[in-house]
Structure 1
Amino acid sequence: MDEKTTGSWLIHHTQRLQRVDSQRGYERTFKAGKAGILLSAISADKQSVLSSERVEALASAANINTLFELPELLRTLKERDVIDQSSNGISVLGITTQSTLLHTAKIFDALDPSPRELASVQLAEAASNAPINMREALDIGDQLQLPAALARQVIEEAADIGFVDSEPLSGDDRLLFNGNIFRRDDPSKVKKVLDSLADSEQRMLSEVTSALQKRGCLEVSDVKRMLGGPLFDKVMAVGFFDLNVVSNSREETGFVTLPSAFRKYSTSMVEDAFDLAKAFVSSITYGMTMSSSSRGKIDLVSALLRTLIRGEPIGPVPAIAEDYKILELKGVVQVAPGRKNGRSGPMMTLLKKEVGELALQVLLQGDASEHSLDALPSAAVTRYRGPEENQQRARKKQLQHSPQATNDILRVLRTTGR
């Protein structure tokens, strides 16, 4: 496994560890992942200087404790020579997402991770290709020379924490998998799933897939109507489709995309970047479809994105101060007062060029077209919940009703070559 992939899994694992009461046994994973999350939040394509107040705000938005965690994480990043601290604030080197993942992996390695932590990363990668059973999972422990009892404990912890998803089989056996199974655009896996369904289910699933290929995304209520509740729950629980949720103070709205919609770029090693790009696409599309001309309606999205990618600010229009808060919190853009063409007001600058480039490709190639996101809320998007978190919710719902429905698909995927 290369360092970028390792870095991605460390950030993935850290996000799961933040949801449990104790990180015991995974302290090095947690520290390295937190350092990577912080670096992603505070870095831009070019070297920049951030005030202490801005660093604390971005850290807080990234769920980093500014009193206990932030000082130590800054020291760690300084030791890697990617930041410098002075009386003026924090100076950060120009960092891309892939560079962030490399630094995350190197920090992890320098912390001398335990065999348990190494096994958890290897396990997640193996389960992202196709579901694996307990014997195959235990083989990973053997390769890392873990005692059998510890290997089984690592597998149990991985399922409990959420490093991998788990479905019970007969006896004490289980299938382990995660949400990346369908992200690698493997037609054989899709075919296996279709072949396992009844003729009517195959037809409905094919119709939805075709519609998504043409339109990029569909409102979740339309997909539920087209599939019916039971089939919708079944395929969402294993990640066959991605559910993206945008929300504001008034409402929460979901839309469905194909996991391979970002297939030219989408691998597990850049999973975090795609959530940023999807959030960016959502916010930009809101400006295209929902914002009025007086607020700053986007008419020429390609020209707007190219301006941002060139490093030039856009604005000033009132909408900028309201519609891109989620991107500000994630450190993707910076909003500040400015003047242009004799007008003054809020202006926006893109801090992460690669995110803008990906959003431009998706919008221009039809993977998220203007008309397909008309279900976005009629107020500014202030929160984005990505596909994997939504898949976890779908699985919990599925387990309350019929675990066998999920198992049917997972067992089929077991026959797909890895």
Structure 2
Amino acid sequence: MDKKTKGSWLIHHTNKLHGVTNQSGYENTYLAGKAGILLSAISANKQITVNNDRLEVLAKAANINTTFELPKLVEVLQQQQLIDKSSSGIAVLGVTTATALQHTSDIFDSLTPSPTETATIALAERASLSPILADDVSEDLADMYKLAKPEISQLLSDAEQIGFVDTERLSKSETLLFNGNLFRRESTQKIKNVLDSLKENEQLILSDFTENLRKKACISVDAAKHFLGENLFQKVTAIGLFDISVVSNSTEDVGFLTLPSAFSKYSSSMVDDAFDLAKAFVSSVTYGMTKSAYERGQIQMVEALLSALVRGESVGPVRAIAQDYKVLELKGVVEVRHGTKKGRSGPMLRLLKKEVGELALQAINQGDVSEHSISSLPTAAVTLFKGPEANREIVRRRQTKMSPKATNDMLAVLRTGGGL
């Protein structure tokens, strides 16, 4: 497993650990993951200086406790020579999303993690390739990491309770493990296997919907439910066949679907969008194209806009910039400042993470992100973004409570189907 993939799993596990009250036994995972999350939030492609006020805001937005966690995380990043600290703030050396993940992996290794912590990463990786029986993977992990039977049992229990992997009971003696990254890579055969497990009418509906989604890049949840029907929608989103992202403002929350492999044309989607930055970027840009009025700065030529940002140019000034990109500001993707261009003054936008803009441009070029893509995005500025894994958890909990059998057949065929 390369460092970027390992770093992605550490971020994944840390986000899961954040949802439990006790991280006992996984302190190194949590510390390394939090350090990686902070590093991503404060970094840019070029060296950047972050003052203390901005550091606190970015940390809070990243769910980092500024009283107890932030000082320790800054200390860890300083020890790794990734930042220089002064009384007024910190200087961050040029760090991309990919290198942030590599540094996360290095930090984890430097903390001398336990075999169990390391094994949970291997478990998640294995469960993302195809669903696997718990008994089968237990033997492999025990041999690889020299874990005794009680340690393996505890590891699997922790993995299920914390959410490192998902579980489905096939019988009293068989438990199937998988996770939400199943369709982020090598997805063609897996999708075919899912289709083969469905009824003929469901196959046709899902095939038409998937093709429609490929063309449009993203489709609203309401439109998806109408197209697929509630039952089929719950089935396929519970296993991660589609990503659900949610954008919010002061009046409503609106969800939309994208393909998990939307950013994987050139590399691993799981690695590229480990921090959900690209999907947040696409959602904000789509809003600017579809719902922002012309007089306040509606995006007319999205490719030209993104290309200019990727080249390092500032765009604007228009009023919309000060309002519509708050999510991206809080994630450290863009910087908004007052500026002057062509005799006009006002809010200007600059891209801090070039690779995120490149991914957004790639997704938009691959699909038709137009006024037909998201018909019901909020009409006020987007102020919150909830990533796919958090939303899949909600759908999966609801689906599992209703009927565990609804996904069992699809998971089983993924495990036994050819080409995996």
TM-score bin, normalised by smaller chain = over 0.9
- 2:111 matched to which residue of 1? 111
- For 2:369 and 2:36, the matched residues in 1 are separated by 28
CA displacement 1:5-53 (0-9 Å, x = unmatched):
1111001100100000000000000000000000000000000111011
- Contiguous gaps of at least 5 residues in structure 1: none
CA displacement 1:320-377 (0-9 Å, x = unmatched):
1110000001000011111222222111111000011111111122264453123211
Structure 1 contact 137–155 (Cα < 8 Å) conserved: no
- 2:66 matched to which residue of 1? 66
Q: What residue identity is the alignment partner of 1:389?
A: A
- 2:291 matched to which residue of 1? 290
- For 1:268 and 1:358, the matched residues in 2 are separated by 12
CA displacement 1:62-115 (0-9 Å, x = unmatched):
011111111111111111111001133200000011110111001100100001
- 2:27 matched to which residue of 1? 27
Asked if 1:211 corresponds to 2:212, the answer is: yes
RMSD after superposition:
1.3
Q: What residue identity is the alignment partner of 1:316?
A: P
- For 1:308 and 1:355, the matched residues in 2 are separated by 10
Asked if 1:404 corresponds to 2:405, the answer is: yes
Q: Where in structure 1 do 4 or more consecutive aligned residues deviate above 6 Å?
A: none
Secondary structure (helix, strand or coil) at the match of 1:155 reads helix
What pairs up with 1:51-200 in 2 under 5 angstroms?
A: 51-139=51-139, 140-200=141-201
Secondary structure (helix, strand or coil) at the match of 1:117 reads helix
- For 1:214 and 1:70, the matched residues in 2 are separated by 43
- For 1:141 and 1:62, the matched residues in 2 are separated by 35
Structure 2 contact 263–273 (Cα < 8 Å) conserved: no
Matched residue count: 417
Secondary structure (helix, strand or coil) at the match of 1:409 reads helix
- 2:415 matched to which residue of 1? 414
- 2:347 matched to which residue of 1? 346
CA displacement 1:274-322 (0-9 Å, x = unmatched):
x201110110111111111211111111111111112121111111111
**Displacement of 1:193:** 1.1
**Displacement of 1:208:** 0.7
Asked if 1:307 corresponds to 2:308, the answer is: yes
Equivalent position to 2:274, from 257, 265, 272: 272
**Displacement of 1:221:** 1.5
- 2:374 matched to which residue of 1? 373
Sequence identity, in percent?
57
Structure 1 contact 290–374 (Cα < 8 Å) conserved: no
**Displacement of 1:202:** 0.8
Structure 1 contact 49–90 (Cα < 8 Å) conserved: yes
Structure 2 contact 249–382 (Cα < 8 Å) conserved: yes
- For 2:135 and 2:184, the matched residues in 1 are separated by 25
- For 1:309 and 1:82, the matched residues in 2 are separated by 24
Q: What residue identity is the alignment partner of 1:279?
A: A
- For 1:370 and 1:24, the matched residues in 2 are separated by 48
Asked if 1:252 corresponds to 2:253, the answer is: yes
- For 2:106 and 2:259, the matched residues in 1 are separated by 32
Structure 1 contact 333–352 (Cα < 8 Å) conserved: yes
- 2:318 matched to which residue of 1? 317
- For 1:262 and 1:165, the matched residues in 2 are separated by 23
CA displacement 1:224-246 (0-9 Å, x = unmatched):
12221111111111011111211
Secondary structure (helix, strand or coil) at the match of 1:280 reads helix
Structure 1 contact 333–350 (Cα < 8 Å) conserved: yes
- For 1:97 and 1:227, the matched residues in 2 are separated by 35
Secondary structure (helix, strand or coil) at the match of 1:246 reads strand
- 2:223 matched to which residue of 1? 222
- 1:36 matched to which residue of 2? 36
112-121 or 172-181, larger mean C-alpha shift: 172-181
**Displacement of 1:399:** 1.2
TM-score computed with the length of structure 1 as normaliser: 0.97
- For 2:123 and 2:11, the matched residues in 1 are separated by 15
- For 1:185 and 1:322, the matched residues in 2 are separated by 38
